[in-house]
Structure 1
Amino acid sequence: MSARKSLRPRPAWVVGLVLICLVAAGAVAMSRGTFAILGGAAGAASTAEETEQPPTAVFVGDSYTAAEGGEGVRWTSLVAQEQGWRELNVGRGGTGWTVAVPADRCRYGTCPTYPEVAHEVVDLAPEIVVVAGGRNDRGNDVAAAAAETFATLREGLPDARIYAVSPFWDSTAYPAHLIAQGRDVREEVRRVGGEYLEVGHPLGGRPDLITQDGIHPNAAGYRALAEAVNEALDR
């Protein structure tokens, strides 16, 4: 009797219920599998994003680039932070396109001209180079030195973004010779496919942004320079 009962056909509603359960279970499994794949892909993308390094930017310049007088505030660091760059700073006080500082007066070990520093920059292999300065050159003709600097950078760093910043000045009237210098630098950086950042005179008429030496910016002054450079980069 029990054997015959086991062979008895199941009611239709039982069969239907079993089929519904099987379909539902399969849907849940497929759903879970899909979310696992998406989760894995998202996780991989997130990991890749986290391990991706920001581009390295080397800043070349004088005491303004080295941020003397800024109480630890650097316009270069503020710009790098805003732009998402990793900063390397080779600014050296007293230097310029045509001006070096003798070893016995150089606090940085060596204080060469910008054309000489350009070779050092190439060895660092950055993706970005920012050259700023010129106040120490006074009335010197910087065209040849600028041409050599940017030619060296472009030859050694063919894929790098190269920027030149118009010369900074303190809170006093902007000198005419810096306007002429800026024109020469602009022409030479553009010659190698670089970009000239015209930042104007952010410290002009603002002695409150200058330290007591009358030359170097204070912390607020360097923040003003950073804002001007970032605005020029974002144009």
Structure 2
Amino acid sequence: MSRRAKTTAAVLAAVALAAIAALLLWPRPPAPEPSGNPTATTAPTSAGSDDAPLAVFIGDSYTVGTATPISGAGFPAMLGELRGWRVENPAIAGTGYSTGRADGTCASSGCQSYIGVLPRAVDADPDILVVSGGRNDLQRAHVEEAVTTFYATVRRQLPDARLIVTSPLWDDSPTPDALLALREHVAAAAENAGAEYLDLGDLFLDRPDLIAYDDLHPNEEGLALIAERIDELLAR
């Protein structure tokens, strides 16, 4: 190879090396964001710190948060945020005070009464037990007896827990007389058990804007209103 050829080859090699070095040193663009939206999840079940009081909730679909994006967390998660509680929500849609079986326990298809859910609450060893529901009891027999039995059992099995009970709620239509009567009985039984009874009133009457697409359950704004009203009525 001639001297000129060798010189040309050396120059080309130097240029190539410089180009490679430049590519290696050039800052890389950020990785692209993953496509699509993440799967929606329910609100956290634990709002407070590890040493915060544990509140367990028993109730029906209004407590579950049915027909909303936060079904399964419901207003208990919102109330936990307001109060600084840790929260567990074993509420089951379709349940009520009235016993669905003679022994009051859960059938294979799920609990039909609050007393059937109570063992789950007792196992959690809560500092606070919140009971909110009753609208599913209007067509059930022996409702008053079931209410009395439930609260007597709660106090016997959780003698040291703070017991909080809300009045049964209705939707945006006028509250049936049967539910008004049930509210009175729940209030009496709860107070006899040493509970703090909270009369929430007719939160959703003539407020269709607070009802979900199914025309039955509170939407997220409605659930927030439940949590806010309970928080207002509770002593700190």
Answer whether TM exceeds 0.5 for this pair: yes
Structure 1 residue aligned with 2:212: 211
Structure 2 residue aligned with 1:3: none
Aligned length: 182
Share of identical aligned residues, percent? Answer: 38
Structure 1 residue aligned with 2:59: 61
Structure 2 residue aligned with 1:227: 228
- 1:148-181: CA deviation from partner (whole Å, max 9, x where unpaired): 2112211111111111110111111111111110
Which 5+ residue runs of structure 1 have no aligned equivalent? 1-49
Q: 2:184 matched to 1:186?
A: no
CA contact (8 A) 1:57 1:127 kept: yes
- 3-state SS of the aligned residue for 1:131? strand
Task: Give the drift of 1:120.
Answer: 2.5
Looking at structure 2, the residues matched to 65 and 175 of structure 1 have their Cα atoms a distance apart, in angstroms, of: 20
Looking at structure 2, the residues matched to 203 and 137 of structure 1 have their Cα atoms a distance apart, in angstroms, of: 19
Structure 2 residue aligned with 1:24: none
- 1:167-198: CA deviation from partner (whole Å, max 9, x where unpaired): 11111111111111011111111111111110
Whichever residue aligns with residue 92 of structure 2, its letter is R
Structure 2 residue aligned with 1:157: 158
Looking at structure 2, the residues matched to 125 and 85 of structure 1 have their Cα atoms a distance apart, in angstroms, of: 14
Looking at structure 1, the residues matched to 196 and 143 of structure 2 have their Cα atoms a distance apart, in angstroms, of: 17
- 3-state SS of the aligned residue for 2:164? strand
- 1:118-160: CA deviation from partner (whole Å, max 9, x where unpaired): 2322122101001111111115442211222112211111111
Structure 2 residue aligned with 1:79: 79
Structure 2 residue aligned with 1:169: 170
The correspondence of residues 129-168 of structure 1 with structure 2, limited to 5 A, is 129-140=129-140, 141-168=142-169
Whichever residue aligns with residue 115 of structure 1, its letter is I
CA contact (8 A) 2:80 2:86 kept: yes
Structure 1 residue aligned with 2:38: none
Looking at structure 2, the residues matched to 179 and 234 of structure 1 have their Cα atoms a distance apart, in angstroms, of: 25
Which range is displaced more, 70-79 or 210-219? 70-79
Structure 2 residue aligned with 1:118: 118
Normalising by structure 2, report the TM-score. 0.71
CA contact (8 A) 2:98 2:146 kept: yes
Which 5+ residue runs of structure 2 have no aligned equivalent? 1-47
Task: Give the drift of 1:209.
Answer: 1.0
Looking at structure 1, the residues matched to 196 and 202 of structure 2 have their Cα atoms a distance apart, in angstroms, of: 18
Structure 2 residue aligned with 1:10: none
Whichever residue aligns with residue 59 of structure 1, its letter is F
Normalising by structure 1, report the TM-score. 0.71
Q: 1:71 to 1:202 in 2, by over 3 A?
A: same
Structure 2 residue aligned with 1:33: none
Whichever residue aligns with residue 119 of structure 2, its letter is H
Whichever residue aligns with residue 91 of structure 1, its letter is A
Task: Give the drift of 1:103.
Answer: 5.9
RMSD (CA atoms) = 2.3
Whichever residue aligns with residue 65 of structure 2, its letter is A
Looking at structure 2, the residues matched to 81 and 51 of structure 1 have their Cα atoms a distance apart, in angstroms, of: 11
Looking at structure 2, the residues matched to 65 and 53 of structure 1 have their Cα atoms a distance apart, in angstroms, of: 24
CA contact (8 A) 1:70 1:222 kept: no
Q: 1:190 to 1:209 in 2, by over 3 A?
A: same
Whichever residue aligns with residue 64 of structure 1, its letter is Y
Looking at structure 1, the residues matched to 150 and 81 of structure 2 have their Cα atoms a distance apart, in angstroms, of: 26
CA contact (8 A) 1:197 1:232 kept: yes
Q: 1:145 to 1:190 in 2, by over 3 A?
A: same
